[in-house]
Amino acid sequence: MMPAVPKIGLLKGLALTLKTMMTPSTTAQYPHVKPDLPPRTRGVIALMEENCTVCMLCARECPDWCIYIDSRKETVPAPGGGGRMRTRNTLDRFAIDFALCMYCGICVDVCPFDALFWSPEFEYSTYSIRELTHEREQLRRWMDTVPPPPPLETGAETPGEIETGLEKAHKEAEAQMAALLAAQQPAAGDEAAGGGGAATTAVEEEPHVEAQVDQEVYDQLTADGVAERVARAKAKAAYVRRERARIKAERAAQG
């Protein structure tokens, strides 16, 4: 009896096996070489504690009930003085149990005050499941790994909070510069001292400086817990003040 001819499928399988054996393998040298993660990687959830108003919306909407929030009520005076005392919620505890979290991102989406952000950090494995519940101190440290927001589209309007922060920073810079100029004004002449006439001093025109972010001031403010947008505005104002003072000092040295 003639032997059966091998099926064509068997030959294809052997050819694929041979091709795989001849192909060199590509091994990722982790942890010595870090992976190149996408910009919207869902690693862990970071907390901007200053923005949290303890509205409890994230804890109520969480489908896994893995967010634990404790707060207390404090009585604070009304802003600007006058008026009756006001009651404010103060955050005591904000913890997330990442052993239960399924990384759906609902808490980040529903937060109305931009207090929760996605961080690409993923190296937080432990030997005990009990250690996967991270408190607000660790969630706050993860804010340092949150990537900056994408730039605005061409022609898009600047958000109101950014405009407000920049306007406030510009006013503070102008007030400080005016105080500096008043302190550097030369003393009145002998004629004014003798009552001969009113001395008039010409105010030097402010040099134009293109606003840029002072990285040192920005890093210091963010380390102190200042919101990123406010820190960026204050860092720009500090850069403008420093450059104007430098330009004026150079002009004074040149005569």
pLDDT of residue 197: 46
Angle between helices 215-223 and 228-253 (to 10 degrees): 140
Per residue in 42-97, pLDDT (tens digit) is 899 999 998 899 999 999 999 999 999 999 998 888 776 677 888 888 899 999 99
- Closest by CA to 228, choosing from 157, 109, 147, 170, is 147
Higher-scoring residue by pLDDT: 255, 144: 144
pLDDT of residue 255: 66
Arch. (CATH architecture) of 44-145? 2-Layer Sandwich (3.30)
| Rounded-to-integer distance, Cα 56 and Cα 148, Å | 26
With 0-12 CB in 10 A as exposed, 13-18 as middle and 19+ as buried, what is 221? buried
Query: Residue 16 in contact with residue 76, Cβ under 8 Å?
Result: no
Residue 113 DSSP symbol: T
Does the pLDDT at position 188 exceed 60? no
Query: Residue 119 in contact with residue 142, Cβ under 8 Å?
Result: yes
State the distance between the two ends of the chain, measured CA to CA, in whole angstroms: 114
Per residue in 189-217, pLDDT (tens digit) is 444 445 544 444 444 566 666 777 788 88
Q: pLDDT-based confidence at 241, cuts 50/70/90?
A: confident
Strand partners, 86: 76
pLDDT of residue 99: 93
Strand partners, 68: 95
- Rg of the chain over Cα atoms, rounded to whole angstroms, equals 31
Q: Domains of the chain: which residue ranges?
A: 44-145, 160-181+209-255
Is the bond leading into 207 cis (omega within 30 degrees of zero)? no
Query: Residue 139 in contact with residue 96, Cβ under 8 Å?
Result: yes
The reported pTM is: 0.53
CA atoms within 13 A on the CB side of 11: 4
The mean pLDDT value for 181-189 works out to 64
Q: What is the mean pLDDT of the chain?
A: 82
Per residue in 24-39, pLDDT (tens digit) is 888 888 888 888 888 7
